[in-house]
Amino acid sequence: MSKRTSEAAKARIAAQREALRKQDQRRRVTMIATIVVVVVVAAAFVVWSVRQGTSEKVTGGLAAATVQQDGTVVMAQPGVTTPVVDVYEDFQCPACRQFEETSGATLKNLAAEGKAKVAYHVITIFTQEPTKSNSLRAASAARCVTDGRQWLAFHDKLYKNQPSETSSGFSVDQLIAWGKEAGVTSSGFDDCVRKQGNVEAHQAYTQQVMTTQKLSGTPTVKINGKEIDSKVAFVPSDLRDAVVNAAKS
């Protein structure tokens, strides 16, 4: 082998070693960056989880609740008209269930304390099956409950028993049974749920709300008509502060 050939071979080997060194270095950097991201995300989740752990408990009796003609349910002490907290929700929506579990008691307490007028707006945002039909059955059944207090109890029962997004649920028989467990006493409740006669009115209301409120999803929470960030809505103490501050402005 000539001296020139030997030097060329050594150069190639050196180049290959350098390439491998750089490749290994990039791999290490990527691994470290990934670990850092995972740690940061995990830490953020822990902080978020801790904050979620401060969920309130319903401390006393509930404020009066009334079912409106369009299906909206308003919860407030007599004479309380502001601030208004509008909650746009879908019984099949997992995030809505999480919101209810996290901040639902805060809304009930604020209304009971006379610090807010809370309005629940049930809509259907799903277009695929089986979630769409699940949502429609639940919403139609909720419209069969004409007593406000009973509606709130049924509302909570539906979220507690929310089916998976990949399976059919909220069957007619289940909805009737949960209504009874929630204390619904209307003699026409069973028949109303079985006929699902409120679906059309519910879909019309959904279309109206989606158009006028320009919702991008559920849950959407507004205070005096202004949408609040989910980072506020899902943290009970921040939600309470936002409502109290709105009353001052």
Q: What is the pLDDT of residue 49?
A: 42
pLDDT, tens digit, 9 for 90 and up, residues 117-164: 999 999 999 999 999 999 999 999 999 999 999 999 999 999 999 999
Residue 32 has pLDDT above 50, yes or no: no
Residue 82 has pLDDT above 50, yes or no: yes
Residue 185 has pLDDT above 70, yes or no: yes
Who's near 205: CB < 8 A, 6+ residues apart?
A: 70, 71, 123
pLDDT band at residue 25 using 50, 70 and 90 as cut-offs: low
Which SS3 state, helix, strand or coil, does residue 47 take? helix
pLDDT band at residue 17 using 50, 70 and 90 as cut-offs: low
Task: List 220's β-bridge partners, or say none.
Answer: 88
Residue 18 has pLDDT above 50, yes or no: yes
- In the predicted model, what is the mean pLDDT of the chain? 87
How many CB atoms neighbour CB 216 within 10 A?
Answer: 9
DSSP 81-112: --SEEEEEE-TT-HHHHHHHHHHHHHHHHHHH
Q: Is 61 exposed, middle or buried (CB count within 10 Å of its CB: 0-12, 13-18, 19+)?
A: exposed
CA distance linking residue 128 with residue 2, whole number of Å = 73
pTM of the model: 0.79
Q: What percent of the chain has pLDDT over 90?
A: 76
Question: Residue 105 carries which side chain, given as an amino acid letter?
Answer: A
Question: Residue 138 carries which side chain, given as an amino acid letter?
Answer: A
pLDDT, tens digit, 9 for 90 and up, residues 189-207: 999 999 999 999 999 999 9
